[in-house]
């Protein structure tokens, strides 16, 4: 073979090797350096054995996930079935109810002489809606100032908020109560307003997650908007807010859940049953003087409480996948 033909064949062999490597990678046959060394030392592992080992690992993974899923969903199924239990007694011979009825839901909303559950539900819904709106605005405003603006004591403020966030909020319940009492906000007529004020007043301190998301937004978008004549408020509303939509959804859900899940603060401030939230109402149903007749209705109330939360998650779920596509500049 002549030298010219050897020179012609060499690039062709290199291209063939590259094509084979690309084909092996595309078909999943690419091997790492460790696999190549192991193959040289111990020989090739049969394809059947590799497939069987992978199937066994997948089986164990699915088995573990199935067991964890059953453990997680079992209490939810039990509460749902217990809400239809025809027997209101708390102690029964079987784990699941034997007879089912809609009386628990009917009596929960019609028999209001002992526990006015519709009033409690409405109180909590009003508090949650106002807290959600106010908290989202506060968090967005504080996060924007900390992320985009530069001023004196900025880092000191963030450090102070970080340190204060390390203390549990339950430590301030007594102080909050006496402050509200001094302001005359502990009366029955002002309890709902007091709860809205307390839940939303400190929400701006939870700006760290939102600020971290805003820090990932390029400042070139702000500069381009300012060149087009936008003010700081327009940059905030037309650039930052649309991009932060996934985090706004997260903050809205978190703020909405606070009144539904809180018990300690509501128990401290609310003095009469007319101002109770659903957490206090459900807790009262399990007291020893009511549990014999209200146990099944407690489960029905727990199901009703979960409905607004489920609706909120379903409505806002699509916003989790949106980010910069919703931003506008002008």
CA distance 67 to 69: 5
Q: Is 85 exposed, middle or buried (0-12, 13-18, 19+ CB in 10 A)?
A: buried
CA distance 307 to 254: 16
CA atoms within 13 A on the CB side of 165: 14
Residue 265 Cα distances to 135, 138, 171, angstroms: 17, 21, 11
For the beta carbon of residue 155, count every other beta carbon within 10 angstroms.
Answer: 9
Domain spans in the chain, listed from the N-terminal domain onward: 34-71, 115-326
Mean pLDDT across 48-64: 77
List the single range of 46-50, 119-123, 242-246 with lowest mean pLDDT. Answer: 46-50
List the single range of 60-69, 146-155, 232-241, 312-321 with lowest mean pLDDT. Answer: 312-321
pLDDT in tens, 180-214: 888 888 887 788 888 898 888 878 777 888 888 88
pLDDT in tens, 77-86: 888 888 888 8
Residues 202/211, Cβ–Cβ less than 8 Å:
no
CA distance 200 to 153: 24
CA distance 234 to 240: 9
- Which tokens sit at 63? 């088995």
pLDDT in tens, 279-323: 888 888 888 888 888 888 888 888 888 888 888 888 777 765 554
pLDDT in tens, 239-256: 888 888 888 888 888 888
CA distance 120 to 280: 8
Phi, psi dihedrals of residue 212, rounded to the nearest 5°: -60, -35
Q: Looking at residue 328, what DSSP letter applies?
A: -
Right CATH for 115-326 from 3.40.50.970, 1.20.1630.10, 3.40.50.300, 1.10.3720.10: 1.10.3720.10
- Mean pLDDT, the chain, whole residue set: 79
Residue 8 has pLDDT above 80, yes or no: no
Residue 5 has pLDDT above 60, yes or no: no
Band of residue 38 on the pLDDT scale cut at 50, 70, 90: low
């Amino acid at each position: 073979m002549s030298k010219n033909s050897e020179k012609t064949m060499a690039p062709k062999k290199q291209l063939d090797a590259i094509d084979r490597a690309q084909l092996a990678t595309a078909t999943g046959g690419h091997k790492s350096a460790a696999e190549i060394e192991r193959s040289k030392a111990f020989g090739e592992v049969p394809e059947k054995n590799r497939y069987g080992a992978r199937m066994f690992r997948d089986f164990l993974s699915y088995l573990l996930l199935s067991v964890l899923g059953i453990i997680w969903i079992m209490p939810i199924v039990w509460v749902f079935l217990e809400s239809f239990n025809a027997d209101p007694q708390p102690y029964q011979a079987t784990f699941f109810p034997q007879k089912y009825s809609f009386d628990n839901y009917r009596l929960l909303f019609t028999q209001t002489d002992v526990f006015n559950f519709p009033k409690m539900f409405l109180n909590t819904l009003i508090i949650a809606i106002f807290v959600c709106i106010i908290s989202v605005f506060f968090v967005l405003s504080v996060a924007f100032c900390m992320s985009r603006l530069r001023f004196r004591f900025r880092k000191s403020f963030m450090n102070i908020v970080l340190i204060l966030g390390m203390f549990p909020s339950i430590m301030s319940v007594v102080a909050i109560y006496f402050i509200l009492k001094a302001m005359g906000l502990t009366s029955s007529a002002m309890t709902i307003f007091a709860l809205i004020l307390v839940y939303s007043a400190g929400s701006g301190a939870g700006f760290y997650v939102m600020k971290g998301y805003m820090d990932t937004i390029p400042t070139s978008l702000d500069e381009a908007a300012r060149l087009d004549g936008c003010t700081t408020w327009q940059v905030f509303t037309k650039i930052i807010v649309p991009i932060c939509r996934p985090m706004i959804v997260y903050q809205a859900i978190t703020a909405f859940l606070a009144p539904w899940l809180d018990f300690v603060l509501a128990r401290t401030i609310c003095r009469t049953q007319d101002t109770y939230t659903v957490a206090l109402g459900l807790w009262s149903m399990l007291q020893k003087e009511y549990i014999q007749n209200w146990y099944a209705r407690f489960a029905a109330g727990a199901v009703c409480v979960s409905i607004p939360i489920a609706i909120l998650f379903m409505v806002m779920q699509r916003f989790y996948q949106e980010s910069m596509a919703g931003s506008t500049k002008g």
